[in-house]
Structure 1
Amino acid sequence: MSRRMLLKGGTVYTGRGDDVIYSGFVEIFDGVIGRVGAVRDLTSTFDGDVVDTTGKTVMPGIIDTHMHVFHEPQMLRLSEGAAALWGANYVQSALRAGVTTMRDLGAQSGAVFGLRKALSEGYVVGPRYLVAGKAICMTGGHGWANLSAEADGEDAIRLLARQQIKLGADVIKVMASGGAGTPGELPTQAQLSMNEIRAAVEVAHDAGKPVAAHALANEGIMRAVEAGVDTIEHGVFLDDRAIELMLKRDVALCPTISVYPRIINRGPAGGESAFVIEKSKPLVAPHIESLRAAVAAGVRIVFGTDATTLYNPVGDFSDEMDLMVKAGMSPVEVMRSATGTAAEICGVSHLVGVLETGKLADVLVVDGDATRNIAALSDTFLVLKDGRSVYGKGDGYRNAALTAEPVLKADLSR
């Protein structure tokens, strides 16, 4: 396809509020969004490729704000170069599903920074990739065995946060409570003191970076919100006090509501440890109730899957969206959580997240009307990244547009 494209005739969700245009169009010029509007307002012949999107939904590319590419301890068996090469192939599967931006909230391997650099500089084609590096936990805290670095005390926390930023972190992740995935901890256990979390927040915010807090236990949630974090991840045991405080501080919730059902239902076949499966079972009911309460109260909800493993792969987001609807969100609200809201949370709203003039053309087209049936988002028709077609229905596993830029470019000045 040329660099001039018109997507015409479909239901257009812009990513901003509840803004849906039925029988709409989106113009794309050289990788950037041009006009967006109703087909009836088109007044001239378009000079470029015209894609008929009648019967389809056109929306910004999906932003998954919580996932992990380099999660498993087995990654340490690979060199960082080999791990990054594996990661590049892995994230392309998410791109083909329509995930054009991903935020990695904790990695076992330093390869996360190599992959970030390769993707951002075009040496590998894949989603826009934002990373935390290693998450920060207390000694023996959540994720110490597979995605976190341990530190105790405010100065040690500051040092770790600064080290991750030095390496290229886009966000700082703190572990404010226990979880299901680490030996010797309880999901109801608060971890890191408020002052320790605040130390990480001060370092991150001074550098213009957001802070995401893994927090299941209500006390951990309260400490994290009081300390100034930007998002609560999971929020399994939210109570009215925590919800009120989140509303007061405008702290968003990334529920990852599908993660524990997937651990229970898919984990045994995927090789998940028995203790993780057992610890996940009591979390399912309070987790969905917490999300229902947060949605009803008006807490900002942002989309994230906690994807990582074979049984919870990146780009497989249908369960998450279905459960968000069951918790009281409309399909359009779910779509907003994965587009405009997600872009704001990740600090990339100046680039992507909404379909409006001047934004980069990260676009997902699906068959059906996703504004009425969220399941339609799993029926991918076309994916554009920076205006380039990186997946089209019928393309199969690969697409020629996934070809990367050469690392060494010719010097044409000689």
Structure 2
Amino acid sequence: MWLVNANVVDVLTGEKLLDRAVQVGEDGRIVEVASAPPVLAKDADVVDVAGRWLLPGLISCHTHLSVVFPFSDTDEQEDPAITAYRSATRAHQALQAGITTIRCVHEQNQADLSLRRAAARGWISAPRIRGAGRAVSTVGGHGEGAAAVYATGEEEFYRAAAAEITDGADHVKIFITGGLAKKGENYDTLEMADGEIRGVVRAAHEHDKYVVAHSGDAVAIRQALAQGVTSFEHAYRLDEETARMLVGPNIFVTPTLCVTRSESWMRANHFEEHSIQQALAAADDHLLSIQRAIRAGVTLVNGTDYPPGDLVDGVPAAVHEMLLMADAGLTPLQALQSISSQAARLLRIDDHVGQIRPGFVGDLIAVDGDPLADLDALRNISLVVQGGRAVRGAA
């Protein structure tokens, strides 16, 4: 496949490569980014980008495909086939929206691992999936009622984490604080002991994996950092000292600002009123926390906590989140990196995903305007290519 008459954004440097032609080989990898118009065979597969701007396919780092709204409707005994059907629909919607890679951080019945196998066989159309299988929660903790795995004590957490990894998980998800979903729940409530966190980290490290922590408060984040956790979700309340502690080459924060800034979407999806009000009440602290993280230089990646292809105020949730992160203080280039190259680094696939350059997979999206000048260009993604295959908009 050749994509011609394209303006290419280098998301590492911010360089704008004008009037380029991008070749993707039969193996789905980019062969070259040519500066001169190529001489093409008559039967060549050619997509005329017509002066639009090419970016790497989007990467969402906090995805739930199997989630049910309102959360209280979750049936922990649900038939795995029903879970898979619901999850496959969300996965297809995400891909159509330009999200070519996702990191799932808890799916009922390990639906993410099942979908990944189905996609590998060509049975479904889905983003590239990095999966956690089921999250591991304390009994009565934030994961209670979500069809998570429940454990108590260091050895139980170790065994539960190891079991998910054995089943194919790329990372392990835990809940170190409460959250915003349940009535009366507090996101500053600590839910795991040091030994329990340590048990999960031990299991992950034995298999060259890492731990993802639902984390609402700075105290719990410092606790988990001390035990070796490197990936933190939400950070609703983050002080400056803790933000500085999160600065490091292999530490990542997924802000999920849209969790506290999507009232219209929550109402449209029948969230319970207490969940909506608790999210709105946390919004100011949440924004201030992420602004502190930005000033400190924390590496931020894009994630939604919602199905990332769902429309929030008319745009895919992943794009909505990117715009919120820019409003919080990221530059346009940093915002694009959060959903491409930095996200790929967190997922440990940055050697072949998240950039437009030879050797990388041909995951591409096209927008009409220069996104480095105006991120609103991503509100209208008109072309989606995954692995050199046109998913949408090539005609």
Instruction: Output the TM-score relative to the length of structure 1.
Output: 0.87
How many angstroms does 1:51 deviate by?
Answer: 3.0
Q: Is the 8 A contact 2:311 2:317 kept in 1?
A: no
- Matched to 1:166, the amino acid is T
Tell me which residue corresponds to 1:380: 381
> SS where residue 244 of structure 2 aligns?
helix
Q: Is the 8 A contact 1:142 1:178 kept in 2?
A: yes
Tell me which residue corresponds to 1:16: 12
Tell me which residue corresponds to 2:273: 274
Question: Paired residue for 2:39, among 38, 45, 48?
Answer: 45
How many angstroms does 1:234 deviate by?
Answer: 0.7
The alignment-based identity, stated in percent, is 29
How many angstroms does 1:187 deviate by?
Answer: 1.0
- Aligned pair 1:114/2:108, yes or no? no
Give the Cα separation in 2 of the matches to 1:294 and 1:194.
24
- Matched to 1:211, the amino acid is V
- Structure 1 residues 249 and 332: CA distance shift in structure 2, 3 A: closer
How many angstroms does 1:336 deviate by?
Answer: 0.8
Tell me which residue corresponds to 1:56: 52
Tell me which residue corresponds to 1:243: 243
Higher mean C-alpha deviation, range 332-341 or range 82-91: 82-91
Gaps of 5+ in 1: 396-414
- Matched to 1:305, the amino acid is T
Give the Cα separation in 2 of the matches to 1:373 and 1:265.
24
Tell me which residue corresponds to 1:358: 359
> SS where residue 18 of structure 2 aligns?
strand
Aligned pair count reads: 386
Tell me which residue corresponds to 1:345: 346
Tell me which residue corresponds to 1:68: 64
- Structure 1 residues 366 and 44: CA distance shift in structure 2, 3 A: closer
Instruction: Output the TM-score relative to the length of structure 2.
Output: 0.91
CA deviation map 1:46-97 (0-9, x unaligned): 3434433344210111010101011225455752123212322221111011
- Counterparts of residues 184-203 of structure 1 (less than 5 Å): 185-203=185-203
How many angstroms does 1:98 deviate by?
Answer: 0.5
Tell me which residue corresponds to 1:285: 284
- Counterparts of residues 14-413 of structure 1 (less than 5 Å): 14-30=10-26, 31-37=28-34, 39=35, 42=36, 44-47=38-41, 48-72=44-68, 73-74=73-74, 76=76, 78-183=78-183, 185-248=185-248, 250-262=250-262, 264-308=263-307, 315-392=316-393
Give the Cα separation in 1 of the matches to 2:143 and 2:66.
12
Q: Is the 8 A contact 2:171 2:211 kept in 1?
A: yes
Q: Is the 8 A contact 2:111 2:133 kept in 1?
A: no
How many angstroms does 1:23 deviate by?
Answer: 3.1
Q: Is the 8 A contact 1:307 1:314 kept in 2?
A: no
> SS where residue 216 of structure 1 aligns?
strand
How many angstroms does 1:248 deviate by?
Answer: 4.6
Tell me which residue corresponds to 1:398: none
Tell me which residue corresponds to 1:405: none
